[in-house]
Copies of this chain bind each other. A is one copy, B any other.
Amino acid sequence: MEELLSDRIKQTPPSFIRAILKTAADPEIISFAGGLPNPISFPKEELLESMGRIVKTYGSKCFQYSITAGLPELREYIAQRYNKKFNLNLDFENVLITTGSQQALDLIGKVFLNENDNVLLEKPSYLGAIQAFSQYGPKFHQIELTKDGMNIEQLKEALKNKPKLIYLIPDFQNPTGLSYTQKARDEIYEVLKDRNIVLIEDDPYGDLRFEGVRLPYIGAGKLKNSILLGTFSKTVTPGMRIGYIISENKEILKNISISKEASDLHSNIFTQYLIWDYLTHNDIEEHISKITELYRTQATSMLNAIEKYFPKNVSHTTPHGGMFLWVTLPDGVSSVKMFPKALEKKIVYVPGDPFYVGLHDVNAMRLNYTNADSDTIEEGIKRLGQLLDETISA
């Protein structure tokens, strides 16, 4: 078998997270590992109502083959929402629907990357992006995240390799929960603006802000090779796999569309009608504010519990939105090596390793706070605190 496989598949890392999710089926395990939205974000009754309405109104069109770029009405809705929020100048032709944001990452890899092309990522970066791009055999360069943004000197240095892509998550970054300040955004823009590079701003969490104000994107509306990624996974439903790519560069979208056609023809058209109908018959901003309020409470519970139960030489980020925070352990403490003991205590997290390319035994972990209630969060952090006490003092 082995000799029949592509080099590509041999270099694609399987997801640590999904492996964890499989082993963590034990109901007594408290999981901070997944990136699962709280089910409060699924407007079940409203979606059911929309299903009846679209079948009645659009009939067979909801069930037939459809166009690759996606339902024009949904794309126009997305364009207008971004125009309003970010003062952009988009229409439906600037938007392409994908089978979740993960497909957007895969298509971008497909369209741009030859083997050994250079790709810039944050350090740490989203493991799903590392997986998707890895399939196309690039060389990754990771640039240190700071509390306010990114190490600009490292960025300038890395740009000397003439990378094709730079992939950033400017708000409530996965895995760290950090966001770029306006100053950091301006600096990155200045460094990138005269270069021939594609900037991907992945923004699955931007709507989920519970503190501070939303800032403009770095590239969208300004850089000619700018791509913006969005999704309904965190605000309507992840299970239906509807994400989208926004770009003002139609040449980029044309090529992504060719690649998408070869990859799955088009995304589920029933679901596209459904989400469009839901969005136009309900107050999505009110719905999002309910989700955000819940996540604020959950984040606060986790932060309070961390203050109470974690050793003082363990530090953490304080997210202003999104779903994750990032915990840094003292030097030399491997969160992977701790993992079996965490399982014994029936608590799981994602070790730092999969968010880095080629690093092992990283002294950090990602914690998700959106999918457990405050009592469970406190109990989980208490268990983790005990484990950290035992590990660090050992």
Binding site for B on A (CB under 8 A): 1, 3-9, 12, 14-15, 18, 21-22, 34-37, 39, 42, 44, 47-48, 51-52, 55, 59-68, 99-100, 102-103, 106, 110-114, 117, 128, 131-132, 134-136, 164, 196-198, 225, 233, 237-241, 249, 251-252, 255, 258-259, 261-271
Question: What are 19 A-B residue pairs whose CB atoms fall within 8 Å in the complex?
Answer: A4-B225, A6-B136, A8-B136, A12-B259, A18-B261, A34-B65, A39-B64, A42-B60, A64-B238, A64-B239, A99-B241, A102-B264, A103-B264, A106-B262, A106-B263, A132-B262, A241-B265, A268-B268, A271-B271
- Which residues of chain B are near A249, meaning CB under 8 Å? 1
Let me know if A106 and B15 touch, CB within 8 A.
no
Let me know if B1 and A251 touch, CB within 8 A.
yes
Can you name the residue of chain B whose Cβ is closest to the Cβ of A254?
B14
- Which residues of chain B are near A15, meaning CB under 8 Å? 261
Let me know if B135 and A259 touch, CB within 8 A.
yes
Bound Cα distance A255, B252 (Å): 30
Let me know if B255 and A268 touch, CB within 8 A.
no
Let me know if A100 and B1 touch, CB within 8 A.
no
Bound Cα distance A214, B212 (Å): 65
- Which residues of chain B are near A136, meaning CB under 8 Å? 6, 8
- Which residues of chain B are near A52, meaning CB under 8 Å? 48
Let me know if B111 and A5 touch, CB within 8 A.
yes
Q: From A36, A64, A233, name the one whose CB has the most chain B CB atoms within 10 angstroms.
A: A64
Bound Cα distance A106, B264 (Å): 8
Bound Cα distance A6, B268 (Å): 27
Can you name the residue of chain B whose Cβ is closest to the Cβ of A129?
B262
Let me know if A5 and B268 touch, CB within 8 A.
no
Which 4 residue pairs of A and B lie closest in terms of their CB atoms, listed nearest first? A39-B60, A42-B63, A239-B269, A63-B237
Bound Cα distance A46, B256 (Å): 35
With A103-B263, A239-B269, A262-B131: A64-B51 Cβ-Cβ less than 8 Å:
no
Report A182 CB to chain B, min CB distance, Å. 28
Q: A9-B110, A239-B268, A263-B263 are known contacts; what are 5 more A-B pairs with Cβ within 8 Å?
A: A5-B111, A39-B64, A42-B64, A63-B240, A135-B259
The one of B65, B263, B266 that contacts A36, using a Cβ cutoff of 8 Å? B65
Let me know if A8 and B55 touch, CB within 8 A.
no
Bound Cα distance A284, B21 (Å): 34
Q: From A106, A252, A270, name the one whose CB has the most chain B CB atoms within 10 angstroms.
A: A270
- Which residues of chain B are near A35, meaning CB under 8 Å? 65
Let me know if B264 and A113 touch, CB within 8 A.
no
- Which residues of chain B are near A63, meaning CB under 8 Å? 39, 42, 44, 47, 237-240
- Which residues of chain B are near A59, meaning CB under 8 Å? 39, 44
Bound Cα distance A365, B50 (Å): 41
- Which residues of chain B are near A67, meaning CB under 8 Å? 18, 21-22
Q: From A35, A61, A117, A264, name the one whose CB has the most chain B CB atoms within 10 angstroms.
A: A264
Report A353 CB to chain B, min CB distance, Å. 17
The one of B21, B51, B196 that contacts A51, using a Cβ cutoff of 8 Å? B51
Report A270 CB to chain B, min CB distance, Å. 5
Report A100 CB to chain B, min CB distance, Å. 5
- Which residues of chain B are near A14, meaning CB under 8 Å? 258, 261
Let me know if B113 and A237 touch, CB within 8 A.
no
Let me know if B65 and A255 touch, CB within 8 A.
no
With A8-B114, A51-B51: A264-B100 Cβ-Cβ less than 8 Å:
yes
Let me know if B7 and A114 touch, CB within 8 A.
yes
Bound Cα distance A37, B59 (Å): 15
Report A201 CB to chain B, min CB distance, Å. 17
Let me know if A66 and B5 touch, CB within 8 A.
no
